[in-house]
A and B are shown apart, each in its own frame.
Chain A
Amino acid sequence: MFRTTAVRAQSIFRNALTPKKAHAATVSRFMSSHSTETDEQFDTRFENFFNRKDIDGWEIRRGINDLWGHDLVPEPKILIAALKACRRVNDFALAVRILEAVKDKCGPKVGEIYPYIIQELKPTLTELGISTPEELGFDKPELNLESVFHIH
């Protein structure tokens, strides 16, 4: 019984245990793959994503949500592409929401990063007629809602 098990186990592990011939192109290793994308490639990838001519509102939202999952404040050029994409799909609210979300993404350094981003975005904002959240009065709370956890 034990011998049968051992023989079977050996045949299962043989492939994993015997060293493979190292291929020039692909070397298989027992570890997770790391991203080799540089920061510039990352920025260009998202910029190109938002610059696509046939982008729709669904994809802009998906792109923003994905981008917001990273530990970074997006480069102004990505944001410019995203705002122009909002203009192409005629969604003004989306553009303002992106600006608000960027301000939130700056975290504790909002005083340093956010003015820089607005300064970089200013030409695009005036060109497209987008108001910043501050111009719309969205930087201060104006609508108080009872928390859904306290209603009942």
Chain B
Amino acid sequence: MAGTLVALGLRAIRHVPKNAPLQASAAMSSYTRTLIGKREIVGFGFNGEPSYVDRADFPMPAIRWKEPTSDVQALREKEKGDWKNLSVEEKKALYRASFCQTFAEFKAPTGEWKSLIGISLIFVSGAIWVFYALKAFVYSPLPESFKEENREAQLRRIIDLQVNPVQGIASKWDYEKDDWKK
């Protein structure tokens, strides 16, 4: 474990560019550059990190989705003119250059709930079979006191002992008629 950590740490140190400037911020930005390539950093995003996430609560990510390739650059030049001259295809291409998925796409239902419920029910049915197996092969039979006549005898004894005579079971028993109060 410790050896793995040391190896990982060494690898992280070795991969820092050798000619990185001394200032921490400049070093970080050059590392960030290796992650995001030539993509423009265009905003704050949701936490200030230059990362792309499609989120409904922070609709504007920090970087553009596509790197500025030559055809994207050409579209950007055309974008500076009147937007009425853009065709629908060009408009969609411009959107896809800045953003990965539309709201309708990243909020589309995945149907994952079906597999979740299905797998859960498989485990539940397995547990029921295990219960019956234990019942059949492991547990001893229920004690005598669970039989119908034993439980009736127990109730009779509770009534004879006048258990809970004010609000409970004996208060509902009519001792003169020897039956439940109507």
A residues at B contact (CB < 8 Å) = 57-58, 60-62, 64-65, 68-69, 87, 90-94, 96-98, 100-101, 103-104, 128-131, 133, 135-145, 147
- Scoring B residues 70 to 112 as 1 if CB is less than 8 Å from chain A, else 0, what string do you get? 0000001001101111101001101101111111110110100
**Of the 9-residue stretches B56-64, B122-130, B132-140, B150-158, which lies at the interface with chain A?**
B56-64
Is A136 a contact of B92 with CB atoms below 8 Å? yes
B105: A residues at CB distance < 8 A: 141-145
A92-B91 contact in complex given A61-B43, A103-B103, A133-B102, C-beta closer than 8 Å: yes
Contacting residue for A65 out of B46, B79, B95, B97, CB 8 A? B46
Is B98 a contact of A97 with CB atoms below 8 Å? yes
Is B83 a contact of A143 with CB atoms below 8 Å? no
Q: Could you list 24 A-B pairs, sorted by A, with CB under 8 Å?
A: A58-B43, A58-B44, A60-B60, A61-B42, A62-B44, A65-B43, A65-B45, A68-B59, A90-B76, A92-B79, A92-B83, A92-B86, A93-B99, A96-B95, A97-B99, A101-B103, A104-B103, A133-B102, A138-B103, A138-B104, A143-B102, A143-B105, A145-B100, A145-B101
A65-B98 contact in complex given A128-B83, A131-B88, A136-B91, C-beta closer than 8 Å: no
- Give chain B nearest CB distance to A84 CB in angstroms: 12
A138: B residues at CB distance < 8 A: 92, 95, 102-104
Is B102 a contact of A100 with CB atoms below 8 Å? yes
Is A141 a contact of B108 with CB atoms below 8 Å? yes
B residues at A contact (CB < 8 Å) = 42-46, 56-60, 76, 79-80, 82-86, 88, 91-92, 94-95, 97-105, 107-108, 110
Contacting residue for B95 out of A93, A103, A129, CB 8 A? A93
A65-B94 contact in complex given A58-B44, A92-B79, A92-B86, C-beta closer than 8 Å: no
- State the CA gap A91–B44 with chains docked (Å): 16
Contacting residue for B97 out of A57, A87, A93, A136, CB 8 A? A93
Is A104 a contact of B42 with CB atoms below 8 Å? no
Chain A: CB-nearest residue to B57: A68
Contacting residue for A94 out of B56, B76, B98, CB 8 A? B98
Of A62, A103, A143, A144, the most chain B CB neighbours within 10 A belong to A143
Is B44 a contact of A61 with CB atoms below 8 Å? yes
- State the CA gap A59–B86 with chains docked (Å): 25
12 A-B pairs besides A100-B102, A104-B59 with CB distance below 8 A are A61-B44, A64-B60, A65-B44, A65-B45, A90-B76, A92-B79, A93-B94, A129-B86, A136-B92, A138-B95, A138-B103, A139-B104
- Give chain A nearest CB distance to B91 CB in angstroms: 6
B92: A residues at CB distance < 8 A: 136-138
- State the CA gap A141–B107 with chains docked (Å): 9
B107: A residues at CB distance < 8 A: 104
Of B76, B98, B102, the most chain A CB neighbours within 10 A belong to B102
